[in-house]
């Protein structure tokens, strides 16, 4: 089992001033920050990151949204990271997210949903590499 996941504080949450509170919740839930940066995604970078969704009807809107302002990708470490972080953020649609979850607290709707979380160990590896070089991660993960 991998112990890594990729979080992104998305442009709506950064723009609304929620980044600090969200990072605080992530740390208090037991995740360790291994790498973090603030970046404005280019169209090519957003399209590449979400390539898995390119046939979905919302793909164009998703790329617009993710390039609309700066976002904060964060490489996280914790035992059972992928599953535990998905639990912390709640369902994709905040209307269906459990009370107390990050999306319930900070998301507007199914599109502007405040945060990203990897959905599998394999995708976590790929997504962390999308934003962070080997050098940026070196010595930051245990083992």
Q: In terms of CB distance, is 6 or 35 closer to ligand IDP? A: 6
Q: Does 122 bind ligand IDP (CB under 6 A)?
A: no
Using CB distances below 5 to 8 A depending on partner kind, what does residue 62 bind out of ligand IDP, Mg ion, none? ligand IDP
CA distances from 36 to 7, 32, 67 (A): 9, 11, 18
**Site size toward ligand IDP, by CB under 6 A:** 10
Distance CA 137, CA 12 (A): 26
Site string for Mg ion, 95-134 (x = CB under 5 A): ------------------------x---------------
Distance CA 20, CA 64 (A): 24
Told to judge if 130 belongs to the known catalytic residues of this protein, a careful annotator would answer: no
Q: Does 123 bind ligand IDP (CB under 6 A)?
A: no
Residue 63 phi, psi (nearest 5): -65, -40
Residues 77-116 interacting with ligand IDP (rule: CB under 6 A): 92, 110-111, 113, 116
Stretch that binds ligand IDP, among 14-22, 28-36, 53-61, 121-129 (CB under 6 A): 53-61
Distance CA 82, CA 6 (A): 8
Collapsing DSSP to helix, strand or coil, 119 comes out as: coil
Distance CA 135, CA 139 (A): 9
Q: Which residues bind Mg ion (CB under 5 A)?
A: 119
């Amino acid at each position: 089992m991998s112990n890594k996941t990729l979080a992104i504080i998305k442009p709506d949450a950064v723009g609304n001033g929620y980044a600090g509170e969200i990072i605080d919740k992530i740390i208090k839930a037991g995740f360790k920050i291994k790498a973090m940066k603030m970046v404005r995604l280019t169209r090519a970078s957003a399209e590449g990151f979400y390539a898995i969704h390119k046939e979905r009807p919302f793909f164009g809107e998703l790329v617009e949204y993710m390039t609309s302002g700066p976002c904060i990708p964060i490489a996280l470490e914790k035992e059972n990271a992928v599953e535990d972080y998905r639990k912390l953020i709640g369902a994709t649609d905040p209307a269906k997210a459990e009370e107390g979850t990050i999306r319930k607290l900070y998301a507007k709707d199914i599109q502007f949903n405040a945060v990203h979380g990897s959905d599998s160990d394999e995708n976590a590896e790929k997504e962390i590499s999308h934003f962070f070089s080997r050098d940026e991660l070196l010595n930051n993960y245990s083992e």
